[in-house]
Structure 1
Amino acid sequence: MTMLTHDMNVRRLRSGLLIAVASATSFGLAGSLARGLMDAGWSAAAAVAVRVLVAAVVLLPIAVIQLRGEWQLLRRNAGLITAYGFLAVAGTQLAYFNAVRHMEVGVALLIEYTAPIAVIGWLWVRHRERPGITTVAGGLIGITGLILVIDLRSGLAASWVGIVWALAAMIGAAAYFVLSAQGDGTLPGTVLAAGGLLIGGLALLVAGAAGLVPLRFATNPVVFQDFTVTWWLPVLALGTVTAAFAYVSGIAATRLLGSRLASFVALFEVLAALSFAWVLLGEAPRLIQLLGGALILVGVVVVRRGELATADRQAQERAEISVAAAGTAEPSR
């Protein structure tokens, strides 16, 4: 029984890790595509709004089919879907872009990607899920690698306003992992993603109309390192690959791995973003960034082993409790 549980845990972790890496890679492509659009005259908020709304349009038909007429699922999970749209989608993006208005992009990104630490803290305080020593060690290795990848040689030159916005983005990123793992198991991940993206996209449009963020669109050709494309190709890729697929696969991975491990595997997004920037924008990573990428890989592996050991220990404890309960139970008369 214990061996069967172990094998199921291993398969679950393996599938979750593959899906999580695919999700992180897809998210990592977004920066380079959006940079091309912004160089062609788009504002950052406009690129984000179009990205999430296109993704919502792509996912809505699939979500309707998966609901199978059970509209009560939407009512029962309305709070989760709304929180996901405002916090995990719109809130994170708005906070991040406001942060980079007041501080360096690399510093804002570093603060946002301390989200795994926030996830561990939340699970510890809220659910008494104290992380093991191996998980903590893997997290520290991954965060160290992230610092090297971002390569903050210019120091923390930022205003307090920028720091506050970046911390808000970190909270939004942590909310993405926590909310993705929630639900009673009856709400399909595609429905959660579609609803959240629709709410988040509409929230961004409202924020733009209110003047909170600039919304500027353009139809100029988009120029990358070695080629030029029409504007709608990056928009389509942003919506389908970096949003629709990325969010759905991210939710699936988080439900398989749990929010803690999934948040650390998501650090691959930074490594993927550097790779895509190298290919599409000609921004070659430095040696220190390659070293940081290696540390991120090591950190994720260490966290994985810590989570596997914890799952095995919990399964063994449950099995022992079940055996003890069966042994003490009196036969029925």
Structure 2
Amino acid sequence: MVDISPAKKGAILAIIGSILWGIMGVTCQYLVQNKGLPAMWVVTIRMFFAGIVLLLADFFIYKKNFFAPWKGRKNVIQMLIFSFITLMWVQYVYLSAVRHMNAAMATVFVSLAPIATILWMSLRSKSVPKFYEILCCISAVTGAVVMATHGDMTTLSVSEEGIIYGILLPVFGVIYTVQPGYLMKNFRPSNVTGWGLLLAGTVLLPIVQPWTITETVEMDTFTILNVVYTVLFGTAIAFWTFLASLKYIKPQIAAIYELVEPVSAILLSVWLLDVLYQLPEFLGTLMILCPVLYLSLVHKK
């Protein structure tokens, strides 16, 4: 039997999770662009069923402290914020960005979150970012502008709605990084995430009424398979594998492997969805991902 070191286990799990997320971006693009499914419909289905899968897996694997996040007033408040603000709106903003841009560009804009986090932490601590952090921020923002304008500063290559959601993505990325820190530190990430997804999905069900979608959208076999992938592999298993990687490697290291997500989303979007990804988009992507990679390596030390 092959003996795999903890570092390799963590790397494999983080990369698998990131690839599954990248593929999910493409399946979501097919659902919201090609099939015309509302973003909130996908959010509701994804959160409700992925929450059930994660909680079932957590229960059968650990068999203890299943309701721990719901004990204590502080925990309940944090869980409600995590569910209805952090998870729900992160999912909605991402899918709306995919709808108005494409999976490749939306996933790259998500990668701006570490840059936005640096700015937020500097403001919060009333400190000036380090020089290299400022350079990384300038490079990443310039890369985002290049992608949004296709290299021509007088025009936009995406809609105004796409720009708005593109700006919101790293903002909500900061919230997703900072807000659940207390919960993730004190409880199992799989348990917290499962409860958060299920609660938000359950509340959205009677509001969105996803079962009525068959009146306007033909749910053929291929569409259903995309939905199943999005829920099972792109959400539940992706979350599980990536969170499991944190048992073996530090979050800073996992963040480096997470850069596989936008790369896989770009390659699959170009290959499967015929997304036009030309030189300006590739340059913009490099201007965003390279600083993020550099910051991850620096903070790793």
Q: Which residue of 2 aligns with 1:7?
A: none
Q: How far apart in 2 are the matches of 1:143 and 1:271?
A: 18
Residue 279 in 1 paired to residue 271 in 2? Answer: yes
**TM-score (structure 1 length as normaliser):** 0.66
Distance 1:278 1:99 in 2: 17
Counterpart in 2 of 1:190? 190
What's 1:216 paired with?
213
CA shift digits 1:108-151 (9 cap, x unpaired): 94876643333123323445786544444444444444554556
Q: Deviations over 1:267-294 (max 9, x none)?
A: 5543332212122212252133333444
**Aligned twin of 1:202:** 202
TM-score by length of 2: 0.72
Assess, with a 3 A threshold, how the Cα gap between structure 1 residues 177 and 293 changes in structure 2: closer, same or farther. Answer: same
- The counterpart of 1:31, out of the listed 22, 25, 28, is 25
Q: Distance in 2 between matches of 1:184 and 1:105?
A: 32
5 Å matches for 1:1-333?
20-38=14-32, 39-40=34-35, 42-65=37-60, 66=62, 68-69=64-65, 71-76=67-72, 77-95=75-93, 105=101, 109=106, 114-126=112-124, 131-149=129-147, 152=150, 153=152, 154-155=155-156, 168-183=168-183, 185-208=185-208, 216-217=213-214, 218-221=217-220, 230-251=222-243, 257-258=250-251, 268-309=260-301
- Structure 2 distance, partners of 1:79, 1:175, is 16
2:258 and 2:86 map into 1 onto residues whose CA distance is: 14
Secondary structure in 2 matching 1:42: coil
Percent identity, aligned pairs only, is 20
Partner of 2:3 in structure 1?
Answer: none
Question: What CA distance in whole angstroms lies between the structure 2 residues aligned with 1:67 and 1:200?
Answer: 23
Change in Cα spacing, 1:301 to 1:171, as seen in structure 2 (3 Å) is: closer
> 1:111 and 1:286, CA in 2 relative to 1: closer, same or farther beyond 3 A?
closer
Moved more, 276-285 or 35-44: 35-44
Distance 2:9 2:131 in 1: 24
Per-residue deviation at 1:232? 2.5
Q: Structure 1, unaligned stretches of length 5 or more?
A: 1-10, 222-228, 310-333
Cα distance in structure 1, aligned partners of 2:270 and 2:250: 30
The letter for the 2-side match of 1:72 is A
How much has 1:297 moved relative to structure 2? 4.5
Higher-Rg member (1/2) = 1
Which AA in structure 2 matches 1:33?
A: T
Q: Tell me the amino acid that sits aligned with residue 68 of structure 2.
A: Q
RMSD (Å), alpha carbons: 4.0
Decide whether aligned partners of structure 1 residues 61 and 98 sit closer, same or farther in structure 2, where only a CA change above 3 A counts: closer
Report deviation, 1:191.
0.5
Q: Secondary structure of the equivalent of 1:220?
A: coil
Distance in 2, matches of 1:166 and 1:254, equals 28
Give the CA deviation at 1:190: 0.6
Shift of 1:308: 2.8
Task: Give yes or no for contact 1:142–1:296 (8 Å, CA) kept in 2.
Answer: yes
Unaligned runs of 5+ in 2: 1-5
SS at match of 1:244: helix
Q: Which residue number corresponds to residue 327 of structure 1?
A: none
Aligned to 1:225: none
What is the rounded CA distance, in whole Å, between the counterparts of 1:253 and 1:139 in structure 2? 28
Deviation at residue 155 of structure 1 after TM alignment: 2.2
C-alpha separation between the residues in 1 aligned to 2:58 and 2:95?
Answer: 29
